[in-house]
Amino acid sequence: MRQSDSRIGFVGVGRMGANMARCLKDQQEAIVTVYDRDHAKNRLFINCAALTPAVHVDVETLVTQREGQSLEACMASSITQARQGTLYLMCGGRPDVFESAKPLLEKLSAHLRYIGLAGEAAKVKALVNMVMNSNTASLAEGLGLGAALGLDLTMLRDIFAQTGAASHVLETDGEDMQNRAHDCYFSAAHAAKDSGIALALTKTVGLTVPLAQAAYDQYQRLVALDKGELDKSAVSELTFKDRSSH
């Protein structure tokens, strides 16, 4: 017996969407495949796409005009969390819409936060990924320099983890950078896209962020080298002296 009477449709079943659908199906939710773009009335649209804040606001406006409801549910997670139902979700939209969607979103997430009105969660998501991408690029430089200096990288990562160089990115990407294991959990192309969204926001407030700009440029280089579908850890291919992309 399924857990609710809702019929859930997914638009976009790539790495994240497919695993989110599988997660809900495992919990006896009814997943349907029909997508009808012309009839929004009385339907709730939960938008998990990495879009600009302005687009999320526009989506809510258009759905509301058609007597539907819209909520942005921005993710700060990857494929594994999507499959396991342990996403970190940041939501934006009307508070009552968030409350109505909460039971379903709780099945997909380990952390669920309401940020504010439409567009606000997308701003936070952009900043999360901007900082993550900068951390990843910085770690790649540290390990690349360590390798060029002849240091043992396993030892170096261990010391990083116990000092001020510690980070979540070190835990998830450090060994992969060392071993050139770039199976995709969060692609370099998506890193470039999300950093680009954050950089566009800086222009709206007249702020300069040179470190974020430098990280964005590195990911754009990977995309230009046809390596955009590799994991973001592949930014290390640009910083290790003996690797072909350098």
Nearest CA to 87 among 65, 63, 105, 64? 105
End-to-end CA distance of the chain: 56
Write down the pTM of the prediction.
Answer: 0.85
CATH fold label, 123-238: N-(1-d-carboxylethyl)-l-norvaline Dehydrogenase; domain 2 (1.10.1040)
* pLDDT value of residue 1: 33
- Residue 34: the pLDDT is 41
Name 174's bridge partners. Answer: none
State which CATH number among 3.40.50.920, 2.60.120.620, 3.40.50.720, 3.30.1490.20 fits the domain covering 7-118. 3.40.50.720
Tokens for 119, please give them: 């567009």
Locate CATH 1.10.1040.10 in the chain: 123-238
Residue limits of CATH 3.40.50.720 in the chain: 7-118
Low-confidence ranges of the chain (pLDDT < 70): 1-5, 7-21, 24-25, 29-40, 244-246
Going 188 to 191 to 193 to 196, the CA torsion angle's sign is: negative
CA dihedral 63, 68, 69, 70 (to 10 degrees): -30
Question: How much is the pLDDT for 36?
Answer: 45
Closest among 86, 93, 129, 91 to 108, alpha carbons compared: 86
